[in-house]
Structure 1
Amino acid sequence: MPAKSSTIVTALTAAAVVVVGFLGYQAAASAPDTLTPARKDGHSASKGHSDRPGKKDRTPAPVPVPAASGKGQRVVYSLGGKRVWLVDAKDRAVRTFTVAPSTVHPQPGTYTVGSRSVSVTGSDGIAIEHVVRFTTVEGITVGFSAAVDGSRPDPGSSKRTGGIRESREDGKAMWDFALQGTKVVVVA
């Protein structure tokens, strides 16, 4: 009986190796020759550029990082442009995207990421995730976050909030990039 059991185990192991090998071959055969960052909406990201989540990217080239935003690895937030850049140590934008500003705005200047939360309820009562906080203005904490339901704040709201909203995809990119202590540069 033991010889028969080992024959069955050997046959099952050989069959499993064949199946895994076949699946690996299929995966390799269907993989593209070059990889580009994937976007949630199914389009390829172009040079780290993400704009209008869920819609076709109509901007042919990425928006350049503001010249007066310093040097080195940093998050750059343009108040007037309603845009964020994630800039690497070599001063290259690895990603840029639009945001919906909060009703409370930080002054232009340099800050650092002071705290982060995976998920909380925003001051507007909306469930948010990937919260990256960098300053406080008049007692209101200001930071980047993504609404779990994908909503953006009402621009006509009179409620004072510090949440700078981004898409969930952009929020995840911010979360991965802006660790505790990361420099945040706010420009006009």
Structure 2
Amino acid sequence: MAGTSAGIVAGLTAAAVGAVGFLAYQASAAAPAGLRGLPGPSASPAVAATKAPRDKRNPTALPIGSGRGERVVYSVDDDRVWLVGPNGRVQHTFRVRPGSVDPLPDTYEVTSRSNAITGTDGTPVEHVVRFTSVGDVVVGFSAAVGETVSAPDPSVKTGGIREERRDGEEMWKFATIGVRVVVIR
């Protein structure tokens, strides 16, 4: 009797794994054509998944281990962005307000940009710089148009990382298609 129970459990487990694989295939095949083939995280991660060391005397200093060369560095834990020139010097740094969906720590590239659109939360935004997606949520930087911006509704999945307008202008000039975006903790 014990052998029969083990066989049934093994059979059910195999069926469940097969069903999950099939559903994953269906989901990827059903993705809109515009989203298929977008670059994901790089094959050679330049950043460890652990929190990058910080300079305790200067919290706005570029974290050690955030990569080399020209790049945008975004810390999901510190809600801060650094725009780093090809010489490795920080050209601009600023605080941001993340959406409800965070990208995973890794190295990405800017994949698309929009001068002005309406965000997933219904807020008019400008200087949109997109670099990845998490599930069906596109993640990128943007600046809200207008004086006041309310806190994001936690029930709405949004990957909009909001900047002040002046910071959004700097991001827009710096982060063109193909520029690396390094996400750290």
Is TM (by shorter chain) over 0.5? yes
CA offset at residue 156 of structure 1? 5.6
Aligned to 1:139: 136
Aligned to 1:128: 125
- Structure 1 unaligned runs (5+)? 1-59
Q: How many residues are aligned here? A: 129
Aligned to 1:107: 104
In structure 1, what is the Cα distance between the partners aligned to 2:148 and 2:102? 20
Deviations 1:96-142 (A, max 9, x none): 00000110000000000000000000000010000000000011000
Q: Secondary structure at the match of 1:154?
A: coil
CA pair 150-142 structure 1, distance change in 2 beyond 3 A = farther
Larger Rg: 1
Match for residue 171 of structure 2 among 166, 170, 174? 174
Aligned to 2:36: none
CA pair 119-150 structure 1, distance change in 2 beyond 3 A = same
Q: Secondary structure at the match of 1:75?
A: strand
CA pair 140-156 structure 1, distance change in 2 beyond 3 A = closer
In structure 2, what is the Cα distance between the partners aligned to 1:125 and 1:106? 21
TM-score by length of 1: 0.65
Deviations 1:11-66 (A, max 9, x none): xxxxxxxxxxxxxxxxxxxxxxxxxxxxxxxxxxxxxxxxxxxxxxxxx9671111
TM-score by length of 2: 0.67
In structure 1, what is the Cα distance between the partners aligned to 2:162 and 2:101? 12
Deviations 1:65-92 (A, max 9, x none): 1112100000000001000000001111
CA offset at residue 157 of structure 1? 2.5
Q: Which amino acid aligns with 2:126?
A: E
Match for residue 98 of structure 1 among 68, 90, 95? 95
Q: Which amino acid aligns with 1:154?
A: A
CA offset at residue 149 of structure 1? 1.2
Deviations 1:132-162 (A, max 9, x none): 0000001100000000014445256221101
Aligned to 1:154: 151
**CA RMSD across the alignment:** 1.6
Q: Percent identity of the aligned residues?
A: 52
